[in-house]
Structure 1
Amino acid sequence: MNRLTIDVRPGDYALAKLPPGSPLPSLSTSDGLVSVTSTPDEVSVVSLTDIAPAGAKVDQGWRLLTVRGPLEFTLTGIMASLAGSLAAAGVPLYAMSTFDTDHILVKATDLDRAVVALREAGHEVHA
C-alpha cells in the first residue's frame, strides 16, 4: 500500500438514523461533509453535529479523517489499510467513500490514538 495523505477535518460529527422511508433531509454542506444513505431498513445521515436532523437517533462525538484524493477506482486496499491499522490499535471506525476519496470517522476520544496508528503504518496525517 502506498503512503496515503490523510487530513483530520475540523468540527464534531454525528451519525444519525431516521426510520425507513423518511424523507431525505436537506442539510447545508457548506461547512463540512454531509452524507445521506437510504436503505429499505433506515436512512443514515453523517453530518456536523449542529446540523444533525431533528427527531433522529443520534450518536455524537465523531471526528472526520479524509484521504486526499481524488483516488482512482482501480486502486485497491486503501480502506483495508486504514481499517487494519486502526483495528490493530483498538480504534473503532465508521467508514464511507465518495466518488473522489475515502473517509473514516473515529470517536473524538480515540482521535489521538488513530493519528498515531495511521502514522505508524506509514501514512502522512495532518491534524
Structure 2
Amino acid sequence: MTQSFSVLPQNFAIARLEPGAELPSAVLASPGFMSITRTEDELSIVCAVDVAAGLPRVDSSWRAIKVQGPFAFDQTGILASFLDPLAVAGVGIFAVSTFDTDYILVKSENLANAVAALKRAGHHLIGE
C-alpha cells in the first residue's frame, strides 16, 4: 500500500499539562496544525514551538509528516504502512489522527532519515 505524504514547514513542540489544567489561550489562537487531547491522566498539546513557550513541560524540535487523506474509517493498514518503515529505520514517532488523515511527528534531526525510509517503502513525497 503506497500513499502520498507531505512535510509541514513548521517546527512543533509537544507539551504535557496536568489533566485539569486550563487550555492556554495562545494555543487556541494559534494558526495552522495543532492537536489537543485531554485524558484522565494528562492534557497533551501539539503546537508551534513559539506557542509552547512558557508551558511547564515541553519537548521541542518536532516536524510533522502529513499522510494525504482523506481515508474512510474502514480502510486498514494506512498508518502501519508508514510506521513500519520508520520503526525499521529507528525513527521514533508521535502520531496524531484526525477525522480525515494522520500526522506523524518525528524529531527534527530524524526528518531526512524518516523521509528517505518512507520513499524506500514506496510512498510519494508531494512536491518531488
Q: Normalised by the shorter chain, which TM-score bucket?
A: over 0.9
> What amino acid maps onto 1:23 in structure 2?
E
The offset of 1:56, in angstroms, is 2.6
Is 1:5 aligned with 2:1? no
Contact 2:15-2:55 at 8 Å conserved across structures = no
Contact 1:5-1:68 at 8 Å conserved across structures = yes
SS in 2 for 1:45: strand
More helix per residue: 2
| 1:53-109 deviation per Cα after TM superposition (whole angstroms, max 9, x unaligned) | 633300000000001111111110111111101000010000110011000000000
Give the aligned CA root-mean-square deviation in angstroms: 1.3
Give the TM-score, by structure 2 length.
0.91
SS in 2 for 1:72: coil
Counterpart mapping for 1:29-68 below 5 A: 29-30=30-31, 32-52=32-52, 54-68=54-68
Give the TM-score, by structure 1 length.
0.92
SS in 2 for 1:16: strand
Alpha-carbon distance in 2 for matches of 1:6, 1:29: 23
Long gaps (5+) in structure 1: none
Contact 2:19-2:40 at 8 Å conserved across structures = yes
Aligned length: 125
> Residue 20 of structure 1 aligns with which residue?
19
> Residue 89 of structure 1 aligns with which residue?
89
SS in 1 for 2:91: coil
The offset of 1:35, in angstroms, is 0.6
> What amino acid maps onto 1:101 in structure 2?
T
- Percent identical among aligned pairs is 46
Alpha-carbon distance in 2 for matches of 1:29, 1:99: 20
